[in-house]
Structure 1
Amino acid sequence: MASEKTNGEQEMPKKKKNRNEELKLHDLLNDVVSPILFPEPTNSAPLLHRIKTSLSRNAPLIPQASRNTARDTLLWTRAGSPLRPLLLISVGTITILALTGLLVFTLLFLFATINVVIVSLLISLAAAAGCLAIFFACVTVIYIAALLVAIFAISTVIFWTIVAITITTAWIGFFYTVWLVTRKSLGFAKQSLSVTSSAISTYSAAWGTRNLKHD
């Protein structure tokens, strides 16, 4: 019984190591989100505690999951046609731009929230002085308007950049496909002409040999 328990304890780290070697980013994301949003019925911990536990448990696995995902993506790219690297580059660029826009929007929103709280506190402190309250209210309105303009400008630039990258990638893929089809067609035509000329040469040689025999 003790030996079976020892063997089981030895197999657990091996299984965990094999799982870490095969872990991908989407699996890691699922492992991070599932305990937070869908905890087990026996887990009655608060939300913040679940977030902290999930992040502390899965954060060290990010480098390994990133390496595994990059390796599989590279193998998938090499295994297919030359269109796969083009697709990978375009999708990666669009994803990076979208994440950059989301990060900028989040930082602006956080900065705006902090500033609104500070301005509201100043307004509440200056409530006795009507001029100061009006001044801080105007500053808040101007700040929020400038923030909205900045968010709109950043979103517009990122959106049209993504559209331009998508259109450019589509045209590159189209011309590359046309070039591949043309090259295959020329190769097939060249092969057909070679076979036809060989058949004509063989037929001519056979015809000449038969005429010599008749003579």
Structure 2
Amino acid sequence: MAEPYETERNNGVHEGSKGTHQREETLYSVLHHLTTSIIYPDHNKAAKPLLNRIKHSLSENGPLLRDASRNTGKNVLLWTRRGTPFRALLVISVGTITLLTLTGLLVFTLFFLAATVNAIVISLLMSLAAAGGFLALFFAFVTAIYIGALSIAVFVISAATISAIIAVLIATGWIGFFLAVWLATKKSVGLAKHSLSFTGSALSNYTSARHAHRYQELDKVSD
């Protein structure tokens, strides 16, 4: 039976029976392999529990994230440099929106973790104070306050994130509009300069030819 071509995947290097070749890992390929190895495991191998699949996938693809992020950033930078200013504006706007979204998600996650820890502590205190009705009622009110604060935090963080994204989109639209006007004006001025230069050159050639023809006629008359 013929051996498979690729037998090992380590830090972007694939080794096979025909030799070793280098393949540049990107962030998309690493994340795709990370998720597919967890959700859709290899059926040819023995089935593993979910936690073992997650641990194996993270240990295999985790070290590749740094190089993949660097390669993806390099590819995006090269793609941006090869394009027009509108492409750079698109990259900046998408990057800003992604950063705002991740920041809002991070803030909500931190607040949620803090509220969860507080709720656990309050639940423990409620269980300890189950004999006292007043303390249990007090802790129930505190729990309700934390739940309300969490709901308000979700609303505020979501509204702030969405507002920031809308502001970025509006600013990007105006910047794109002024950039388009500037580029159109620049091309129009360049075209006008070229037309004036061409017209001046044609007039200069016509004047020179006319003077030469006139001098020839004067020479003939004098002869």
Please classify the TM superposition score into its range, dividing by the shorter chain length. Answer: 0.7 to 0.9
For 1:170 and 1:193, locate their aligned partners in 2 and report how far apart those are by CA, in whole Å: 34
> 1:132-183 deviations in whole A, cap 9, x for unaligned?
1111100001111112222222222222122212211221121112111101
Number of aligned residue pairs: 206
> Which of 38, 53, 58 is matched with 1:55 structurally?
58
Structure 2 counterpart of 1:45, one-letter code: K
User: Residue 74 of structure 2 corresponds to which residue in structure 1?
Assistant: 71
Amino acid at match of 1:90: S
Q: Cα offset for 1:84?
A: 2.8
Aligned counterpart for 2:148 among listed residues 137, 145, 149: 145
1-structure distance, mates of 2:63, 2:46: 23
Identify the residue that residue 193 of structure 1 maps to in structure 2.
Answer: 196
Higher helix share: 1
Match status 1:122 vs 2:125? yes
Alignment of 1:13-92 (within 5 A): 15=20, 18-19=22-23, 22-41=24-43, 42-92=45-95
RMSD across aligned C-alpha pairs, in angstroms? 2.4
With 183-192 and 150-159 compared, the bigger mean Cα shift is at 150-159
* 1:47 CA drift (Å): 0.8
Q: Which runs of 5+ in 2 are unaligned?
A: 9-13, 219-223
Segments of 4+ moved more than 6 angstroms:
none
The residue aligned with 2:207 is 204
* CA deviation after TM superposition for structure 1 residue 128, in Å: 2.5
Q: Secondary structure at the match of 1:133?
A: helix
Distance 1:188 1:114 in 2: 67
Higher relative contact order (CA 8 A, sep 6+): 1
Q: Partners in 2 of 1:68 and 1:162 — Cα distance?
A: 27
TM-score of the aligned structures, taking structure 1 as reference length: 0.85
* Aligned-partner residue type, residue 110 of structure 2: L
TM-score, normalised relative to structure 2: 0.82
Letter of the 1:104 counterpart: V
- Give 1:89-168 correspondences, 5 Å limit: 89-168=92-171
